[in-house]
Amino acid sequence: MRVDAQASRAVVEADLWQQSDMLSMYNVMEVPGLPNGQASLVEGLRAADAKGATLALKDRGAGDFGIAGGQRIRLSYTVRLEHDKYPWPAGMEEVSYRTDEGMMATGAALFFADGDAPVQAPIEVDFDLPRGWQARTPWTSAGDGDRFRVDSRRELISNALFLGTAHAETFDAGGVELTLVLGERYRRSLPLFVDLLSTQLASYAELFGGPPLSRRYLIIINEHASGDGGAFASSFSQFVQGDADERNRVIWGYVMAHELLHFWNGLSIVPADHREEWFKEGVTDYLTIVTLARNGWLDENLLFKRLENVPRRYLIARYAQNLQMSVRDAGKDKQPNRQLVYGGGSLAALALDVALRERSGDRVGLPEFMRALHAEFGKPGKTYALADLERIAKALTGSDFSGFFAGTVGSESYFDIRPSYAALGLRMDSFAEEMFINREPDASPAQRARFKAVFGSPAVR
């Protein structure tokens, strides 16, 4: 892949074995002005066989092209690097954008792959970049220059890359190699990032009973008003609004901790389909709150604010957005239904943690549940479904959880979280979108002990 000096175009030349009759650009999202999403920014796509004869390509839309498979092919095409001009549903941090120091892009915005068959290893990517630029990837270096070895199609397509001059730092955290690529504004915040990432990584390894599938990760941080982020197979891309300091760590630190946890829940433990998107996002959100509190990044005041946001998001989805589908069904169209997927999923995660503890006499909670799930499903190519969640919960407690999941995420009716908060010795008062959580003075010793077992003793670091 060759990037021109203005970083306006990338020319890709590919040599691959095409097994099936479908050539595809993955994760294509239609947006106004781009009827075929990222594929609409591809120009001059040409395919030839091993002898150089042109092969016919039939545009099937959405980044798919029919082609005669079962042979070695050579592709050439140009990608217009103007993705940041368009309103992507998940944000440009999950597609591609440019800065004064280079460009971030996902593999899915740059590369085609066999649409119906796994790419056969070995995979190598060689970058030809403007003077002074370097390629920062989560892949393995394959010698001098910007050449890399890639382990699978998933690692090729589902990863964020940064090509440019931005500062990078690599460090080891519990056997996991992290490379941070920092936009210029955030270089002085490096110690804050490293401290939080190291602490959270250690907590997650303990929580899940081991490391994530990958041992090498790339994290790209730049400035943008959205303050959002996106996680990929072994990388994540994050925006920070303004400076990154201790005062606004409650925002950027939360996003960073959430995306980091996805390396386990979502990328090592993978749902079978969109119906468990609530578990991928909601459980990650809830466990982010729990671990930040236990590690001292949230004091009790900030913890309660976070816990107030959980039912508020769910209420906004149900009554302001009037989303009437179940939390499970909301995952089919995650971005428009984001408040229901995240808010409803977080409520279900908190309620599950409480239910596991109540039904087991406080022997087990969500950490033990996640450890069991990771032990069984934290393997390449293995996915879980709702029936697996029900089975694991029953194995841990001896109790049938099918009714619990039907009520929390399978129903279209409003789910009341107040009994779950009460079981933690907390009281929630609310009016319309206003939520206030405080400790219940009359909480029993068991309820107070359960709160401490979940959140530790939150204090300012």
Exposed/middle/buried for residue 92 (C-beta within 10 Å: 0-12, 13-18, 19+): buried
In-domain check, residue 143? no
In-domain check, residue 362? yes
Are residues 147 and 126 in contact, defined by beta-carbon separation less than 8 angstroms?
Answer: yes
End-to-end CA distance of the chain: 46
The H or E element spanning position 207 is: helix 190-208
In-domain check, residue 62? no
In-domain check, residue 229? no
Distances (CA, A) of 174 to 21, 180, 261, 323: 44, 16, 15, 42
Look at residue 257 in the predicted model and tell me its pLDDT: 95
Strand partners of residue 217: 178
Are residues 12 and 75 in contact, defined by beta-carbon separation less than 8 angstroms?
Answer: yes
Q: What's the rounded Cα separation, in Å, for the pair 362 and 445? A: 13
State the total domains in the chain: 1
In-domain check, residue 295? yes
Look at residue 116 in the predicted model and tell me its pLDDT: 82
Distances (CA, A) of 62 to 28, 37, 126, 355: 6, 7, 26, 43
Collapsing DSSP to helix, strand or coil, 270 comes out as: strand
Determine if residue 115 is left, alpha or beta; phi over 0 gives left, psi from -120 to 50 gives alpha, anything else beta: alpha
What does the pLDDT look like over 79-129, one tens digit per residue? 999 999 999 998 999 999 999 999 999 999 999 999 887 776 789 999 999
Look at residue 185 in the predicted model and tell me its pLDDT: 95
Look at residue 381 in the predicted model and tell me its pLDDT: 87
Q: How far is CA 200 from the centre of its chain?
A: 16
Look at residue 430 in the predicted model and tell me its pLDDT: 87
Are residues 39 and 29 in contact, defined by beta-carbon separation less than 8 angstroms?
Answer: no
Q: What is the CATH number of the domain that holds 402?
A: 1.10.390.10
The H or E element spanning position 16 is: strand 9-18
What does the pLDDT look like over 213-250, one tens digit per residue? 888 899 999 999 999 998 898 999 999 999 999 999 99
In-domain check, residue 95? no
In-domain check, residue 346? yes
Exposed/middle/buried for residue 163 (C-beta within 10 Å: 0-12, 13-18, 19+): buried
Look at residue 460 in the predicted model and tell me its pLDDT: 54
In-domain check, residue 329? yes
The two three-digit tokens of residue 457, written as one number? 């003793």
The two three-digit tokens of residue 131, written as one number? 């003077």
Residues of the chain with pLDDT under 70: 120, 174, 459-461
Instruction: Give the residue numbers spanning the domain of 354.
Output: 270-415
DSSP state, 121?
Answer: S
